[in-house]
Chain A
């Protein structure tokens, strides 16, 4: 009973002034005084007996708890008023249909765009979070530094996983994941080309707790030659039959295949994971020797850890250098003849680090990722842009609402004279804007549903607005209606309700210069964003054109690449001769890789250099037709020659290698070797630098060795006269050689373009956004110019009577707006320049931002703004002055 009023107050126990004022604000008039009295009385009692701190706590608690009561009372007793507000709001909407349309459509566009982007962002951020222990799962990655290079690898040495579990108790589980080389998967008479077939250690499902439809996650991968498949793969191969125990033949060699027994079926993996598999096999195959690679310096598997909850990951990370020293040190010394310590002291580093599982999708962008990942920068960027678009839409609302104040001034004045409180006027205007926002939201949701299929196709996602799937979406939407409505309505509400009735009813305008300044500021703000986005779009477009058209140092057109050519085995030469028989085939090369493919980067050094010297070099093998087929140009020396038997021990390099290794004099005839090997290879030719990787990267040292036998791919240069016919011939020839292996091909040019898919997407999104921003800004401008013209009707009439020309009047009305666009340009240009310049720094090869881009962006904005404004200006200028002046 501590709430009894105390008769002997001690100390200052009065309810503070601000607290009282707050209550006055939130409690409905009906019993405002009574409730404030209650609050004061109880506060005083509590403050007297328990002190002010306690009393304040109590005060806030009670305010919060009473809020629903305040709301329900004000609706209950203010019901008539509320109905009146709504009626008036609807009447206003109906009376000014054009204005309402402009406002609602602008808001709807902004909201729809914002919703779509939020959906996208939410989806991107949800990656891998569905795994139960997601926050305890990490992937180990390695940063490998040499004095001349710095590379990141998501892959790790084979022995890492076992070592971690054995030596470090905080690692609960560690599992290895790797790709399984597979050409086709065969069941009875069906054969499919499967690309998402991986292998993993038996404890995979201890870490990744995927729901099993059949089988036991603990034992599914225990027996060698077992495979766990997804539900849709089960359906694809076995239809309605029980898949458990069935045997799938995996063609994993040139002629060989391995049977895998189905021991488990998992539900299809959700789209939101960085690692999807269709078939997950055991690491080892039955009846084959378990070749476990022991090297600590070759990276072939992904290592995932489940960490003890008690341990922060940094503690484990700090132990990695010691681990590498202990296990890798002896190996390194044996292989390379120098101690690992000396090697590290020479400026080399192997820095092991851990990536939290949910971060991998957005924050990891290395070569050799399992699947292409997203990019956190773009997520931030898009969120920011979505926010800006919404802001533009809100600004529009404020602008139009204040501009219309001319028309409403009289209404406000009359209301005030009739005894309306300012509070009521504010409520009236806020309710109008919330109503508009509500309508805009409905329109936006319709819009979202309408463009969703296209948006999904574009992003490759399956986004859905889960209106009722979680309890938060519907309330969040309603909440946003309120927040945006109040935000957009707040300025007009306070602005309009401040009118002094005597002034407005007398007919004098209340449009002081400060009002105009604010409105102009808002217009400038809108155009700053629009112009900045336009510049962004043009720059990205320019960079895209540059990347797609830049001379790459080889001829990318009309080259067909056949994948998995190793299936041909020792027949590859016969196949090559057979293909060459077709008149449209210019030349054929067998090669491990073509530009754009990922290839191994190995350490090499000049033969004369010390053991600690090593340079990162892109290394691949190809036959002697490679240089000719790709159209590479020789700078010095010659390409591989069939006639020269000694070429099998020679190497062809690029100019970058000569430069990075610092080979003095004529490079031809100088020897280079692998860092861990003594065999030296003479350089017989130097290729002019060409872009093996995408234009994000510098041209790196590159070396190609001869391989006349089995290679991963085949590159075929064809003539453009009969492409379908030539392709059909290739397919036919392929099938006579390897009938049970699917013919998988692509065009080099398209593969290269695919390297820039992220940029392509960004360009489209930027383009869409800038269009949207301009459309919304112009909607606002259109409305604004209409009101200004209306306001100046009399002035125009007088001017016309006095002999002003139509052109003069149009100019008069337009030039103010055009000045604003000009000002916006001045603000936007440097900002856009800085941002886009930073973006371009992400490319090793990029365009310079030319002044022409700014000119075009500025002119575009200006012309669009002019067209928008001139419609209203011309209309105003054409009015017969008699009409305008009769008004008086």
Chain B
């Protein structure tokens, strides 16, 4: 069983959500829109690259475009292993939440 961090979970989910649009910049915007956490332009790649190294994501560089001064974009895609750890994370979550006593569940209900 591999447990991933919240940041990793968040990024994997964002990549899943954006599907074909999962580029560094769009991921950065999406993360900010949902969580309010702001990565710098270079900073977003640090956790993404780690996920790549852990084989939860793969990359594919696109075609250079003039508006990027002849540089390609890098698209991120989730791998089977990535899906597996997400599944695992979800299972753990739900198991933990489900095991709470009723009283605590009441307290944790959204206001």
Contact indicator B24/A34 (Cβ below 8 Å): yes
A382 vs B43: C-alpha distance in the bound complex, in angstroms? Answer: 44
A68 vs B43: C-alpha distance in the bound complex, in angstroms? Answer: 8
Q: Which of A38, A67, A77 has the most CB of B within 10 A?
A: A38
Contact indicator A66/B42 (Cβ below 8 Å): yes
Contact of B42 among A40, A41, A62 (CB under 8 A): A62
With A69-B46, A72-B46: A34-B71 Cβ-Cβ less than 8 Å: yes
Measured between beta carbons, the chain A residues less than 8 angstroms from B25 are 3, 38, 41-42
**Segment at the B interface, from A25-33, A166-174, A273-281:** A25-33
* Closest residue on chain A to residue B24 by CB atoms: A38
- B residues 58-111 with Cβ under 8 Å of A? 61, 64-65, 67-69, 71-74
Measured between beta carbons, the chain A residues less than 8 angstroms from B29 are 1, 3
Whether, in the assembled complex, A37 has its beta carbon less than 8 Å from a beta carbon of chain B, the answer is yes
- A residues 43-101 with Cβ under 8 Å of B? 44, 62, 65-70, 72-73, 76-77
Measured between beta carbons, the chain B residues less than 8 angstroms from A68 are 43
* Closest residue on chain A to residue B69 by CB atoms: A40
Contact indicator B71/A76 (Cβ below 8 Å): no
Whether, in the assembled complex, A36 has its beta carbon less than 8 Å from a beta carbon of chain B, the answer is yes
With A41-B25, A72-B46, A73-B46: A35-B67 Cβ-Cβ less than 8 Å: no
- Closest Cβ–Cβ distance, residue B95 to chain A (whole Å): 33
Whether, in the assembled complex, B49 has its beta carbon less than 8 Å from a beta carbon of chain A, the answer is yes
Measured between beta carbons, the chain A residues less than 8 angstroms from B74 are 31, 34
Contact indicator B72/A35 (Cβ below 8 Å): no
Contact indicator A40/B71 (Cβ below 8 Å): yes
- Closest Cβ–Cβ distance, residue A74 to chain B (whole Å): 11
Contact indicator A34/B69 (Cβ below 8 Å): no
Q: Which of B24, B29, B46, B53 has the most CB of A within 10 A?
A: B46
Contact indicator A31/B69 (Cβ below 8 Å): no
Measured between beta carbons, the chain B residues less than 8 angstroms from A9 are 67
Measured between beta carbons, the chain A residues less than 8 angstroms from B61 are 34
Whether, in the assembled complex, B1 has its beta carbon less than 8 Å from a beta carbon of chain A, the answer is no
Measured between beta carbons, the chain B residues less than 8 angstroms from A488 are none
A477 vs B42: C-alpha distance in the bound complex, in angstroms? Answer: 28
- Closest Cβ–Cβ distance, residue A4 to chain B (whole Å): 9
* Closest residue on chain B to residue A34 by CB atoms: B74
Contact indicator A38/B72 (Cβ below 8 Å): no
- Closest Cβ–Cβ distance, residue A38 to chain B (whole Å): 5
Whether, in the assembled complex, A15 has its beta carbon less than 8 Å from a beta carbon of chain B, the answer is yes
- Closest Cβ–Cβ distance, residue B37 to chain A (whole Å): 13
Contact indicator A35/B68 (Cβ below 8 Å): no
Contact of B71 among A3, A33, A44 (CB under 8 A): A33
Whether, in the assembled complex, A596 has its beta carbon less than 8 Å from a beta carbon of chain B, the answer is no
Contact indicator A40/B68 (Cβ below 8 Å): yes
Measured between beta carbons, the chain B residues less than 8 angstroms from A69 are 40, 42-43, 45-46
A39 vs B61: C-alpha distance in the bound complex, in angstroms? Answer: 16
Contact indicator A73/B41 (Cβ below 8 Å): no
Whether, in the assembled complex, A637 has its beta carbon less than 8 Å from a beta carbon of chain B, the answer is no
Whether, in the assembled complex, A5 has its beta carbon less than 8 Å from a beta carbon of chain B, the answer is yes
With A35-B41, A42-B25, A69-B40: A14-B69 Cβ-Cβ less than 8 Å: yes
- Closest Cβ–Cβ distance, residue B4 to chain A (whole Å): 18
Contact of B69 among A3, A30, A36 (CB under 8 A): A36
A37 vs B29: C-alpha distance in the bound complex, in angstroms? Answer: 16
Contact indicator A66/B40 (Cβ below 8 Å): yes
A62 vs B67: C-alpha distance in the bound complex, in angstroms? Answer: 19
Q: Which of A34, A69, A72 has the most CB of B within 10 A?
A: A34
Whether, in the assembled complex, B50 has its beta carbon less than 8 Å from a beta carbon of chain A, the answer is yes
Q: Which of B42, B43, B46, B71 has the most CB of A within 10 A?
A: B42
Question: Contact string, B4-42, partner A, CB cutoff 8 A, digits 1/0?
Answer: 000000000000000000001100010000000000111
A30 vs B43: C-alpha distance in the bound complex, in angstroms? Answer: 14
Contact of A37 among B40, B53, B72 (CB under 8 A): B72
* Closest residue on chain B to residue A17 by CB atoms: B69
What is the size category of the interface that chain A forms with chain B?
A: 20 to 34
Whether, in the assembled complex, A317 has its beta carbon less than 8 Å from a beta carbon of chain B, the answer is no
Whether, in the assembled complex, A578 has its beta carbon less than 8 Å from a beta carbon of chain B, the answer is no
- Closest Cβ–Cβ distance, residue B52 to chain A (whole Å): 10
Contact indicator A40/B67 (Cβ below 8 Å): yes
- Closest Cβ–Cβ distance, residue B91 to chain A (whole Å): 30
Contact indicator B42/A70 (Cβ below 8 Å): yes
Contact indicator B43/A66 (Cβ below 8 Å): yes
Whether, in the assembled complex, A216 has its beta carbon less than 8 Å from a beta carbon of chain B, the answer is no
- Closest Cβ–Cβ distance, residue B98 to chain A (whole Å): 37
Contact indicator B68/A37 (Cβ below 8 Å): yes
- Closest Cβ–Cβ distance, residue A616 to chain B (whole Å): 69
With A33-B72, A34-B24: A44-B67 Cβ-Cβ less than 8 Å: yes
- Closest Cβ–Cβ distance, residue A61 to chain B (whole Å): 8
- Closest Cβ–Cβ distance, residue A8 to chain B (whole Å): 11
Contact indicator A73/B45 (Cβ below 8 Å): yes
Contact of A27 among B42, B50, B72 (CB under 8 A): B42
- Closest Cβ–Cβ distance, residue A5 to chain B (whole Å): 6
Contact indicator A66/B41 (Cβ below 8 Å): yes
A338 vs B43: C-alpha distance in the bound complex, in angstroms? Answer: 81
Measured between beta carbons, the chain B residues less than 8 angstroms from A65 are 40-43
Measured between beta carbons, the chain A residues less than 8 angstroms from B42 are 27, 35, 62, 65-67, 69-70, 73
- Closest Cβ–Cβ distance, residue B90 to chain A (whole Å): 28
A38 vs B43: C-alpha distance in the bound complex, in angstroms? Answer: 12
Whether, in the assembled complex, A20 has its beta carbon less than 8 Å from a beta carbon of chain B, the answer is yes
Contact indicator A35/B45 (Cβ below 8 Å): yes
Contact indicator B72/A73 (Cβ below 8 Å): no
Contact indicator B43/A5 (Cβ below 8 Å): no
- Closest Cβ–Cβ distance, residue A871 to chain B (whole Å): 54
Measured between beta carbons, the chain B residues less than 8 angstroms from A72 are 46
- A residues 784-800 with Cβ under 8 Å of B? none
A24 vs B83: C-alpha distance in the bound complex, in angstroms? Answer: 34
Contact indicator B49/A77 (Cβ below 8 Å): yes
* Closest residue on chain B to residue A13 by CB atoms: B67
Contact indicator A62/B41 (Cβ below 8 Å): yes
Q: Which of B25, B45, B50, B72 has the most CB of A within 10 A?
A: B45
- Closest Cβ–Cβ distance, residue B74 to chain A (whole Å): 4
Measured between beta carbons, the chain B residues less than 8 angstroms from A20 are 69
A27 vs B71: C-alpha distance in the bound complex, in angstroms? Answer: 14
Contact indicator A73/B40 (Cβ below 8 Å): no
A35 vs B43: C-alpha distance in the bound complex, in angstroms? Answer: 10
* Closest residue on chain A to residue B29 by CB atoms: A3
Contact indicator A62/B24 (Cβ below 8 Å): no
Measured between beta carbons, the chain A residues less than 8 angstroms from B46 are 69, 72-73, 76
Contact of B41 among A1, A5, A38, A44 (CB under 8 A): A38
- Closest Cβ–Cβ distance, residue B21 to chain A (whole Å): 13
Q: Which of A36, A39, A65, A69 has the most CB of B within 10 A?
A: A69
Measured between beta carbons, the chain A residues less than 8 angstroms from B64 are 37
A14 vs B61: C-alpha distance in the bound complex, in angstroms? Answer: 22
A73 vs B24: C-alpha distance in the bound complex, in angstroms? Answer: 15
- Closest Cβ–Cβ distance, residue B93 to chain A (whole Å): 28
- Closest Cβ–Cβ distance, residue B18 to chain A (whole Å): 15
Measured between beta carbons, the chain B residues less than 8 angstroms from A42 are 25, 41
A516 vs B8: C-alpha distance in the bound complex, in angstroms? Answer: 56
* Closest residue on chain B to residue A62 by CB atoms: B41
Measured between beta carbons, the chain A residues less than 8 angstroms from B71 are 33-34, 36-37, 40
A65 vs B64: C-alpha distance in the bound complex, in angstroms? Answer: 26
Measured between beta carbons, the chain B residues less than 8 angstroms from A30 are 49
Measured between beta carbons, the chain A residues less than 8 angstroms from B69 are 14-15, 20, 36-37, 40
* Closest residue on chain B to residue A59 by CB atoms: B41
Measured between beta carbons, the chain B residues less than 8 angstroms from A36 are 68-69, 71
- Subset of 8 A-B contacts with CB under 8 Å: A3-B25, A15-B69, A31-B74, A37-B65, A41-B67, A42-B41, A69-B42, A76-B46
In order of increasing CB-CB distance, the 3 nearest A-B pairs are A66-B42, A37-B71, A65-B40
Identify the A interface with B (CB < 8 A): 1, 3, 5, 9, 14-15, 20, 27, 30-31, 33-42, 44, 62, 65-70, 72-73, 76-77
Q: A38-B41, A66-B42, A73-B42 are in contact. List 14 more A-B contacts (CB 8 A).
A: A33-B72, A34-B74, A35-B24, A35-B45, A36-B71, A38-B25, A39-B41, A41-B67, A44-B67, A66-B41, A69-B40, A69-B42, A73-B45, A76-B46
